[in-house]
Each structure stands twice: as structure tokens, then as C-alpha cells.
Amino acid sequence: MTLRSLRPYLLAVLMTVPAFAMHLLAGPDTSPMLVALLAGLAILGASFLLTWSCEVAQLDIPQAVAVAVVAFIAVLPEYAVDMYFTWMAGQHPESAYSHYAIANMTGANRLLIGIGWTAIVLIFAERFHSGVELHADKRTDVLFLGIATTYALFIPLKGSLTLFDGVILLSIYAGYIWIIARRPCEEEEPEGPAAVLAALPRRHRLKSVIGLFVFSALVILLNAESFSEGLVASGKILGVNEFLLVQWLAPIASEAPEFIVALMFAFRGNAGLALGSLLSSKLNQWTLLVGMIPGVYAVSSGGTTPINLDAHQLQEILLTAGQSLFAVALLLDMRLGVREAAALLVLFVAQFLSPIYDAQLEALLGLPHDPLRLHDFYAYVYLILAALLLVRQRRLVWELRHGFKV
């Protein structure tokens, strides 16, 4: 092990140092934009360390433990931010924190598919002139993502996110873990910075991984509040909708390392592994993350009252569920080609930009302004396209049952 091989780890650790200095030296009049920047940089650095550590940890712990624990640790940055907003929503039920919790969750889920999945396919197609084939075992992920998405469609229909919903979604994730943890372990050779840790003797490797886990977790938990509040305050100062900042900017900081690692696999020709990892992350967030929200809210509020959801939040969940169902329909044949990826990307970009042009479009058509109209439109577009694909490929829908096999 040389200093050069440790450079990525040193850079990631250095990214966390300014935030530590800020917590020690900054006063109450520190710029919220600076707070958000430094805290976000620290979370980004810690996320890289977690990504590399999780890849190595699976060499030394039982498969059943690795699948459940490592999958959770890998997305800890996203969970920390969203659970902070949820906790504050329980402490202040009439505040906008519940909006931020739903915004962060829906933004992270839609980014995974709209940008993460499509980037892998398009990069791989550009280099190798082919679509991305998923391993047959990933049929289980597609199946359980479909089950979770089907249930999530009922949340906006009934107008609430309750403890019962949380139990159902967590149970779906538990069923998924129960199946895949009993399959034979397929060892993957760590690459890049993770290979440096993997080359250590087992005893030193375990100590290093545990140390990085603890350090990264402390960095993330220490900076989750500063990053979250800094984003909200920055939006108010800049006149930018803080809901949009929380929805799109926060997940970028927490999920960038996972995206980068997946893109590296795609560049090297292992796009199936890359897409499979982001598929698992999507399932993780759509079940475990969403399922934890009502539980954390209940503990924070000291009761069992459902988290307050207004029309906007319900439409965000419907739009996210629509995109998820469309993505599941595209993956029925265990393949994602360029046309399918382009469709996901175009629809994502269109709904992402809709707040910019919806008012102008409504004025052109002589319609009264309704900020939710285009959300409804894109949600129904996703759902209609998904329904058409599911009917057309109903034979493949039936074949998904094989995903239940251990």
C-alpha cells in the first residue's frame, strides 16, 4: 500500500475537514449558503468512503448480513437527510418540514431512474453499441419493485402515509432480503479505491472498514441538520423555491458516489452490474426509506397521527410511483435499451423543467394557473405507458413469479 494508492481516501477525508472547522468556529451569523456548501461537501466525502467500504465489507461478513446491513449503510446519507426532515415534521406538524421530507424522498427516487439508469445505458451503448442486460437473479428486484410500486399507488388515492403503509413497505423489503440472502454468494472482485482495502490482510481490512464506517456515519449524522437547514435557508435568501432545492440538490450530494461508481462499471463494460446496483438502490429507497418515514414521524410527534400530506405532496408520490411502474414495465425482459433509456430521460427532463414553463403554457392556452396540472399530466403519461407495456408483455409479467425463488 502506497501513499498514491491511498490518495482517494485522503481526498475524501479532506472533504470533511472544512465542515468540522465550521462546527467549531462558525457563529450564528454564518452564511447559510456556506453552511450548506461545506456540510454537503462533507456528506459527499463520507459517501465516497461508505461506497468503497461497503464494497469491501461483503468479502468478510456473511451474505445474509451483507445484503441487509451493507445495503442500508450504503444509502445512509440519503436516509440521514430525509429522516431529519421527517423528525422535524413530527416536532413541528404545521411547518413545511413534511413537505421537505416528501420532496427529498421523491427527488432521490426519480433521480435514480431518470438520470442514474439512463446514464448507464447511454454510456454503455455509446462505447459498446448494445443495450444493458440484467443478470437473471435481478428478476427478484424487478418483481419486488413492482409490488412496492403497486402498493405505493394507493397512498395518493387514500390521501395519507400511515404507520400501516410503513409496515407494508418494510415487510416487502424484508421479504426481498429473505429471498436474496439465501442464494449462493457470488464474489465480486473490488475495483478502484476499494481494491486497496481488499488487498489488506483480513484482520487489518476489518478494522479499516469498521473505522471508515464509524467515521463516515459520524460525519453524515453531524452534518445532516446543517446541510438540510442550510439548503432551506439558502433557498429563501436566493428567492429559489426551497422545496425544489431539497428535492433535487440534496439527493445529488448523497447519491453522487453511488452514481459515479456505477458509471465507472458501465465505462469498463460491466453495465449489467452497474444497472443492477442502482436497481437495488431504487428498491431500497422505495421500500425502506418510504417505510421509515411514518415510523420516525410517529416517534417524533409522540402519537400515531399520519404525516400531513397536502395535494402537492400526494401528486409528488403519484408521479414518482408512475415513473417507477413505467421503469418496471421496461425491465420485464430484463433488458434496458437505448430507446427505453431515452424515453425515461426525456420524460424525466420534461417533468423536471415543468415548473419553469407550466405558467407560460397555461397562459398560452388561456387556462387558470394550477401548479399541479403538469404533475398530474406526467403521472398519467407514465401510468398509461406502463399499462400499455404490461398488457402487451403480460407473458413476461407472469414470468416474474420466478423472482420468488430462493
Which portions of the chain are predicted below pLDDT 70?
1-3, 61-74, 184-188, 355-374
- 361: containing domain: 7-404
Is position 120 within any domain?
Answer: yes
Q: Which three cell numbers stand for residue 322?
A: 408512475
Give me the number of domains the chain comprises. 1
CA dihedral 278, 77, 285, 119 (to 10 degrees): -30
Residue 342 maps to a domain: yes
What pLDDT score was predicted for residue 269? 83
Query: pLDDT at position 77, please?
Result: 79
CA distance 19 to 22: 5
pLDDT score for 384: 96
Would residue 1 count as lying in a domain? no
CATH of the domain at 52: 1.20.1420.30
198: in domain: yes
pTM here? 0.87
The label of the residue with cell 482495502 reads 197
Closest CA to 71 of 212, 176, 191: 176
Q: Hunting for cell 402498493 — which residue is that? A: 151
CA distance readout (Å), 15 to 38, 43, 44, 265, 319 = 8, 8, 8, 24, 35
The pLDDT assigned to 62 comes to 59
Nearest Cα to 320, choosing from 153, 164, 158?
Answer: 153
Residue 304 maps to a domain: yes
pLDDT in tens, 127-164: 888 889 998 888 999 999 999 999 999 999 888 899 99
Q: How far is CA 373 from its chain centroid?
A: 26
Exposure on the CB side of residue 163, measured as CA atoms within 13 A: 10
What pLDDT, on a 0 to 100 scale, did the predictor assign at position 336? 94
Q: Is 2 among the domain residues?
A: no
Instruction: Look at residue 5 in the predicted model and tell me its pLDDT.
Output: 77
Has residue 80 been placed in a domain? yes
Please tell me the distance from the alpha carbon of residue 322 to that of residue 17, in angstroms, as a whole number: 41
| Alpha helices per DSSP H over 245-372 | 250-267, 271-284, 290-301, 311-330, 338-365
Burial zone of 19 (CB within 10 Å; 0-12 exposed, 13-18 middle, 19+ buried): buried
Q: How far apart are CA 387 and CA 200, in angstroms?
A: 50
Q: Is residue 299 part of a domain?
A: yes
pLDDT value of position 381: 94
